[in-house]
Structure 1
Amino acid sequence: MINHDEAAVRPLTLAWVSRHLEVGERIVKTEALRGGITADMRRLTIGTQDGRTRDLVLRSYVDPFYVERAEGGLNREAGALTLLAGTGVPAPELVAVDPTAAHCEYPSLLMTHLTGRTVLDDEGVETRVPLLARQLVAIHALRPAERPRKYVTLTTSDTVVVPKGADAAVWAAAIDVIRRPTPPYEGRFLHRDFQPGNVLFAMSPPSPAGPQITGVVDWAATSWGPADLDVAHCSTNLALLHGPAWGLRFAEAYEEAGGVLAATTSERLYWQVRDALACSEEVQSVSQPWREAAGRAELTTRSVEERLDAYVIALMDALG
Structure 2
Amino acid sequence: MIENELPDRLLQWVVRSVNPHAAVVSIRQLHGGTSSTIHCISLQFNDKVTDYVLRQLDNEEWLQEEPDAAWHEAESLRWAAKTCLNTPQIVAYDISGSECGIPAVLMTLLEGSVDLNPQRMEPWLDGLAQTLVNIHAVEADRFSWNYFTYIDLDSLEIPAWSNAPEMWGAVFEIVRGPRPETKPCFIHRDYHPANVLWSGGAVSGVVDWVNACQGPAGIDIGHCRVDLAKLFGIEAADAFLSAYERYAGPAFRYDPYWDLLSVVDTLFGPPTVDEGWTAFGVTGLTDRLMEERLELYTASLLKRTEGK
CA distance in 2, matches of 1:67, 1:182: 29
Which residue of 2 is the match for residue 308 of structure 1? Answer: 294
User: Residue type matched to 2:304 in 1?
Assistant: A
Displacement after TM superposition at 1:70 (Å): 5.2
Percent identical: 29
2:260 is aligned to 273
Distance 2:294 2:114 in 1: 22
Distance (Å, rounded) in 2 between the aligned partners of 1:315 and 1:137: 22
Long gaps (5+) in structure 2: none
Decide whether the 8 Å contact of 1:92 with 1:112 is kept in 2: yes
**What secondary structure is seen at the aligned counterpart in 1 of 2:113?**
coil
SS of equivalent residue, structure 1 residue 214: strand
Q: Aligned to 2:13, which of 11, 16, 40?
A: 16
Distance in 2 (alpha carbons) for counterparts of 1:286 and 1:188: 31
What secondary structure, in the 3-state scheme, does the structure 1 residue paired with 2:189 have?
Answer: coil
Q: Which residue of 1 aligns with 2:4?
A: 6
- 1:85 matched to 2:81: yes
Whole-angstrom CA distance in 2 between matches of 1:279 and 1:287: 12
Tell me how far 1:105 sits from its aligned partner.
Answer: 2.3
Q: Please state whether the residue corresponding to 1:71 is helix, strand or coil.
A: coil
- Give yes or no for the alignment of 1:193 onto 2:197: no
SS of corresponding position for 2:274: helix
Secondary structure of 2:155 counterpart: coil
User: 1:206 aligns to what?
Assistant: none
Task: Give 1:54 shift.
Answer: 1.1
Cα RMSD, aligned residues only = 2.2
Aligned equivalent of 1:230? 220
Superposition pairs of residues 239-258 of structure 1, within 5 angstroms: 239-258=229-248
Question: Is contact 1:174–1:273 with CA below 8 Å preserved after alignment?
Answer: yes
Shift of 1:61: 1.5
In the aligned structure 1, how far is the partner of 2:273 from the partner of 2:129?
A: 21
What residue in structure 1 maps to residue 94 of structure 2? 98
User: Contact 2:273–2:285 at 8 Å: present in 1 too?
Assistant: no
Query: Which amino acid letter does the alignment assign opposite residue 217 of structure 2?
Result: A
Q: 1:200 to 1:160 in 2, by over 3 A?
A: farther
Aligned AA for 2:79? L
SS in 2 for 1:46: strand
Determine if contact 1:39/1:61 at 8 Å carries over to the other structure: yes
Contact 2:140 2:214 in 1 (8 A): no
How many angstroms does 1:319 deviate by? 2.0
Deviation at 1:287, TM superposition (A): 1.4
Q: What is the aligned partner in structure 2 of residue 56 from structure 1? A: 52
Is 1:218–2:208 an aligned residue pair? yes
- The equivalent of 1:173 in structure 2 is 170
Aligned equivalents of 1:101, 1:27: Cα separation in 2: 21
Residue 123 (structure 1) aligned to one of 99, 119, 122 = 119
2:133 paired residue number = 137
Secondary structure in 2 matching 1:135: helix
User: Which one of 145, 156, 160 corresponds to residue 159 of structure 1?
Assistant: 156
Give 1:141 deviation, angstroms: 0.8
Q: Which amino acid aligns with 2:296?
A: A
Aligned equivalents of 2:175, 2:164: Cα separation in 1: 17
Q: C-alpha deviations, 1:112-132, integer Å up to 9, x for none?
A: 000101111253232111111
Q: 1:108 aligns with which of 93, 100, 104?
A: 104
Indicate conservation of the 8 Å contact 1:137/1:259, yes or no. no
Distance in 1, matches of 2:250 and 2:144, equals 20
